[in-house]
Amino acid sequence: MYRDTHARPCDRREKFCAPHRLDDIVVDPKSAQAWYLLGASLVGAMEYKKVGDKMEVVVQPGTVEAYQKAVELDPSGPYGQQAKQGLEALQQIAPGIDTKIRTKKKS
C-alpha cells in the first residue's frame, strides 16, 4: 500500500519526515484506503503549541490533501466517509482549543 522510500533527507529536529510529494509514498494512487490511512497517520503526527489561552493545532503538510484525495476516489464509500469526518474534525479544531478556565459570575 505504501512505498518504503525516503523522498528527502530527514532533519534531526523534525518529528516527521514528509516526502516532497504525497504520491511518492502511496503505491496505488487510485486506492482510497491508502489515501485515508495516510491522512490518518499524518493526524497522529500533529503537534500543538500554546498561544495565549489557546492550544493551536499544527497540522502536518499533506494531511488535508490526503483526506481530500480519499473523498475524491471514494465519495460514498467507507474510506471517503471516514475521510470526510476527518476533514470535519480538523475544521473544528482549526481555531484552537480554549484552555482558559471559565468561572460563573455570582449573582
DSSP sequence for the chain: -B----SSPPPTT-S----SSGGGTBS-TT-HHHHHHHHHHHHTT-EEEEETTEEEEEPPTTHHHHHHHHHHH-TTSHHHHHHHHHHHHHHHHTT-EE-PPP-PPP-
Mean pLDDT calculated for residue range 52-80: 91
pTM, 2 dp:
0.70
The domain locations on the chain are: 29-97
Give the rounded percent of residues in the chain with a pLDDT score beyond 90: 30
Q: If one looks up domain 29-97 in CATH, what number appears?
A: 1.25.40
Mean pLDDT calculated for residue range 85-96: 86
Q: What is the pLDDT of residues 42-53, one digit of tens each?
A: 998 888 888 888
Mean pLDDT calculated for residue range 39-68: 88
The pLDDT, as a whole number, for residue 95 is 74
Q: What is the pLDDT of residues 24-37, one digit of tens each?
A: 666 788 999 999 99
The pLDDT, as a whole number, for residue 29 is 84
